[in-house]
Structures are given as C-alpha cells and as structure tokens.
Amino acid sequence: MAEKEKKEKIPRQPMPEQDPKVRSRNFEEVPYGYTPELAQKEANRCLQCKKPKCTEGCPVGVKIPEFVNLIAGGDFIGAAKKLKEDNSLPAVCGRVCPQESQCESLCILGKKDEPVAVGRLERFAADYERKQGTVDLPQIPPSTGKKVAVVGSGPAGLTLAGDLVKQGHQVTIFEALHKPGGVLVYGIPEFRLPKAIVDAEVDYLQRLGVEIKYNYVIGKILTVDELFAMGYHAVFLGVGAGLPVFMNIPGENLCGIYSANEYLTRSNLMKAYLFPQYDTPIAVGKHVAVIGGGNVAMDSARTALRLGAETVHIVYRRSKTELPARAEEAHHAEQEGVQFKFLTNPLRYIGNNDGWVTGMECMEMELGEPDESGRRRPVPKKDSNFILDVDLVVVSIGTGANPIITGTVPNLELNKWGYIVADPETGKTSREGVYAGGDIVTGSATVILAMGAGRNSSKAMHEYLMNKSNTVA
C-alpha cells in the first residue's frame, strides 16, 4: 500500500513539444518524444497490476505492464521487442492511437490521478529501437510454397503481410498509389506522423521478404479472379475507405472547396507543401473553414495553418463534448490557433465570377434528443443563418467504400453501404480464399483496429493455406 501511494506521487510526465506559435508554421513533428530519463520516470509510475486493466483496453492486447517494466529497468530494446509481439507498428500506434479512450482509459491510476502515458512510452521504445538501428530480423521458417496477394498497403495490409511472411508464405502487396502506407502516408500529415517512420516499417517488411508492387489498381489492371489464375492461393482485401463524402449542398463544386482526401493527399503524398520544389499545387487559403470534427478535420485545419492561412475555423454541427477527434489533436489544434465553431452547419456556398468560393452560409444548431449513435441530434435553430467569409473550404465529414475493387469481385457480399461483409474474427468473406479487413469492412475506424483485423485474418489465412485441400491448384 505504501508503495502504491509513493508511486502515485510522481506526476504524469509531459512530452516536450515544439512551441505552438512556431510549429503552426512548419511541418516538423509536434512532440519531440520522451528522453530516456523522462521515459523511465513515467514507466516507474506503473503499478504493475496483477490483472492489468490497461491491456483490456488495447484492441490488440499489448502486454503493457511488461513492456513498461522493461523501460523502467532501462531495457529499451527489450521493451520494443515485447511491444512487437502484439503490435507490428508501435512507433505509429504510440503516436496516433486514441489512447484516452483505449488503453489509458482503463489504467487504474486514472481513477484518482492521471493514467500511465502508455502511448508516449510505446512511441519512445519504438523510436529508440529504430534510432539505434538494432531492428534484427526474426528467423523465417522454410517456404510453405503458398502465395498470398494483399491488396492495399495500409495498416491492415502491412500487418497481415508481415505476419504471413513470418510463417513462410510468399506475400505480394499490390498498392494503387506510388507509395506504401495507405492513410498513414496520404492522409495523416508529417507533423503528426513523420513519413520516415512509415518507410522504416515498410523497409523492415521488405527485408523480411514481402514484395510490394506499386501503381497496381486492382479491379483495373488485374482483377481478384486474375490473381487467383496467376497462382495466388489466397487474397486479402485491405483497401480502406477511400471515397470522399460531400454534403451535396449548393455551390459545393466551386473552386477552393476540397474533400479532406484531396487536400491531404495533395499536401502529404504529393508534397504540395513544398511547392514549387514539388510540382503539385495546392490552394493556400487566407480564411479557411474545415467542416467536420474528427481527426481528419483536425489534420486539415492544422495543415491549412501551416500552409499560411490567417484564420482557420472548424465548423462542427454538434458541441465540443461530441467532438470525435482524439483529445490531444483537438487540444493541439486549439493551441495553434484553430478556432472552433460548434453547433454550426453549412447550408450553401457563395462564389465569385471566377468560380471561387467566397463565403459559406451557415445555420446554428442546438442539441435535441439522442439519435441512433446515442449522441444528441443537432437540430437547426430558427432564424440563425449567417455568412462566414471563406476562400478555402475542406469538407471532412467522412468517407465511404470505393467500388473499384468491390465492384469487380463476383459474388463478394457487400452490406447496404457497399462495405465488404467479413467475419469479424477471421476476415473471411463470402468468396472462398478471399479475406478482408480494416476500413473496407468496418468503415473508417482506427489504425490499431485495422492492424488488429490484419492480425486476425493472418491467423485464419494461415490455417486456410496450410489445409491442403483448400489450395490444390
């Protein structure tokens, strides 16, 4: 008991980060990460619970007390190895997991004090290992002679590819874009997830023997049936939720109105923030409105600031409590000067003669009865219309299922929104030998859930592949 009280006295260690004024104008990563001293101090706060609650909050069941204990004892490489037993992308998850609603939300310390900073520690251990350059390769068993095609190189596909190659299968990833990582490279900005980290993870997979083919839009250049005909024994579909949703309100096709996908793809994947060194242009708004309240909206708003906007408003139809973004992201956005217009909904856009957006008519909302999601439904407030002057708008109200792949696999069962129907435990679809996981099954979710889906499918696919009767060609 005395021990426990003593530990609670150490406050949760903050992570050093760039000054908001400075960082809101550059694309470098916001937090610097823990130093070894800070990490050990934070790790020492953990009570090493016999029945750790924290682990239950992690979708992939990372052995939290064990890896934290290794950090406390100074074995940082050991901690990274422990993490990788359950999570193949700890440097990514430590940065982007919504910890406050997952692992950290259940930490026992959080009852009276602040929870152990699991995410920051995870990031520290993974970064330490990467920087030391000591990532050694596991022993790969002899080839099973089975070939697997993975469509999409997002977190779901990467995780699955790593797991299967480690079991001796031959794995090829087919990626539509010219770079690997899915949303990790085209969506999440550099200041939140440096691309070098994703590259390092992908490099590791390639050293394990995973082959990646870029510029392959499956459904166009090859169909899933053709992949089978080419000798692949099983196929995993991890194509994400790559279809932007617009509001279908008047004026939405004016110039200066982007989907978040386009805005972020231009900036991140195509490096438009480095224009004209890079050829892809991006419109730099003076007065920017971002519609929506999720991580994607925060990323767009913060990108707009960094590109040089004078004012950036997040326009969200519910209130602050319902904001779906990670708390840290909303906090960072606010610190950097992003302004929030809660309980506000756009009705139409106003443009000039050149077809550029100049304004947005909005309406105020109030919260009514709870809807199907359990959140209180926003209802329009009478006579509350007003006009917000804007010259750039980023629509960030969600994404849907892209039909390029799903429309070209005969007999693949889809739900009414066009997502693939797959067994949540195994990723098995209605087509023999075809598995699916990540956002294309669940709708847009999180990196860790996509990775968990990849992991689950890898187990099921391994069993399927090893059962001879399934895969005699």
Partner 1 sequence: MFKIVEKREMAGNTVCHLKIDAPLIAKKAQPGQFVVLRANETGERIPLTMAGNDPAKGTIDIIFQVVGKSTALLRTFNKGDAILDVIGPLGKPTHVEKLGTVICVGGGTGIAVLYPITRAFKEIGNHVISIVGARTKDLLIMEAEMKGVSDEFFVTTDDGSYGRHGFVTDALKDLLDARKDVKLVIGIGPIPMMKFVCKTTEVYGIKTMVSLNTIMVDATGMCGACRATVGGKTQFCCVDGPEFDGHQVNFDELMKRQAAYLKEERQSYERFQKEQR
Ligand X SMILES: Cc1cc2nc3c(=O)[nH]c(=O)nc-3n(C[C@H](O)[C@H](O)[C@H](O)COP(=O)(O)OP(=O)(O)OC[C@H]3O[C@@H](n4cnc5c(N)ncnc54)[C@H](O)[C@@H]3O)c2cc1C
Contacts to ligand X by CB under 6 A: 96-97, 151-157, 174-177, 182-183, 187-188, 216-219, 238-240, 242, 264, 295-296, 299, 326, 402, 404-405, 438-439, 444-448, 450
Position 69 contacts ligand SF4 (CB under 6 A): no
Terminal CA-CA length for the chain: 63
Sorted by sequence, the CB contacts under 8 Å of residue 338 that are 6+ apart come out as 298, 301, 302, 305, 312, 313, 314
Nearer Cβ to partner 1 (356/366): 356
Instruction: Pick what 52 binds: ligand X, ligand SF4, partner 1, none; C-beta below 5 to 8 Å, kind-dependent.
Output: ligand SF4
Position 235 contacts ligand SF4 (CB under 6 A): no
Nearer Cβ to ligand X (64/93): 93
Give bridge partners of residue 211 from the DSSP assignment. 172
> Which of 90, 157, 256, 359 forms a contact with partner 1 (CB under 8 A)?
256
Position 155 contacts partner 1 (CB under 8 A): no
Instruction: Pick what 65 binds: partner 1, ligand X, ligand SF4, none; C-beta below 5 to 8 Å, kind-dependent.
Output: ligand SF4
Interatomic CA distance for residues 45 and 137, integer angstroms: 32
Interatomic CA distance for residues 215 and 228, integer angstroms: 19
3-state secondary structure at position 181:
coil
CB 176 within 8 A of CB 217: yes
> Which of 12, 41, 44, 108 forms a contact with ligand SF4 (CB under 6 A)?
108
Q: Which of residues 39-68 bind partner 1 (CB under 8 A)?
A: none
For residue 437, CA distances in Å to 80, 180, 252, 286, 320 come to 26, 17, 32, 40, 31
Nearer Cβ to partner 1 (77/269): 269
Nearer Cβ to ligand SF4 (59/359): 59
Q: Which of residues 14-53 bind ligand SF4 (CB under 6 A)?
A: 46-49, 52-53
Binding segment toward partner 1, per CB under 8 A, in 3-11, 39-47, 253-261, 288-296: 253-261
**CB 43 to partner 1: min, Å:** 41
**What tokens were used for 203?**
């490099």
Position 230 contacts partner 1 (CB under 8 A): no
Count of beta carbons in the 10 Å neighbourhood of residue 304: 29
Q: What is the dihedral of CA 374, 375, 381, 387, to 10 degrees?
A: -140
3-state secondary structure at position 345:
strand
- The helix or strand, by DSSP H or E, that contains position 171, with its residue range, turns out to be strand 170-174
Nearer Cβ to ligand SF4 (194/380): 194
Position 265 contacts partner 1 (CB under 8 A): yes
**CB 81 to ligand X: min, Å:** 23
For residue 201, CA distances in Å to 154, 184, 210, 407 come to 12, 11, 12, 31
Interatomic CA distance for residues 202 and 212, integer angstroms: 9
Distance of CA 296 to the CA centre of its chain: 9
**CB 87 to ligand SF4: min, Å:** 5
Interatomic CA distance for residues 272 and 283, integer angstroms: 9
CB 309 within 8 A of CB 277: no
- DSSP structural state of residue 399: E
Taking Cα atoms as reference points, which of 299, 228, 220, 224 lies closest to residue 260? 299
Position 176 contacts ligand SF4 (CB under 6 A): no
> Which of 87, 99, 261, 396 forms a contact with partner 1 (CB under 8 A)?
261
Range list of β-strands (E), 276-385: 287-291, 311-315, 339-341, 344-351, 357-370, 376-380
3-state secondary structure at position 266:
helix
**CB 89 to ligand SF4: min, Å:** 9
Instruction: Pick what 12 binds: ligand SF4, ligand X, partner 1, none; C-beta below 5 to 8 Å, kind-dependent.
Output: none
> Which of 6, 207, 214, 463 forms a contact with partner 1 (CB under 8 A)?
214
- DSSP structural state of residue 222: B
Binding segment toward partner 1, per CB under 8 A, in 40-48, 82-90, 117-125, 257-265: 257-265
> Which of 85, 203, 279, 371 forms a contact with partner 1 (CB under 8 A)?
279
**CB 131 to ligand SF4: min, Å:** 19
> Which of 246, 286, 320, 331 forms a contact with partner 1 (CB under 8 A)?
246
* Per-residue contact flags (x/-) with partner 1 for residues 344 to 383, judged by CB under 8 A: ----------xxx---------------------------
> Which of 96, 103, 176, 323 forms a contact with partner 1 (CB under 8 A)?
176
What would the DSSP string read from start to end of 31-93?
B----HHHHHHHHTT----SS-HHHHTSTT---HHHHHHHHHTT-HHHHHHHHHTT-S-HHHH
Which residues in this chain contact ligand SF4 in the complex, by CB under 6 A? 46-49, 52-54, 58, 60, 62, 64-65, 87, 93-94, 97, 99, 102-103, 107-109, 116, 118-119, 122, 448
Which residues in this chain contact partner 1 in the complex, by CB under 8 A? 176-178, 214-215, 217, 220-222, 242-244, 246, 248, 252-253, 255-256, 258-259, 261-262, 265-266, 270-271, 275-281, 283, 354-356, 402-404
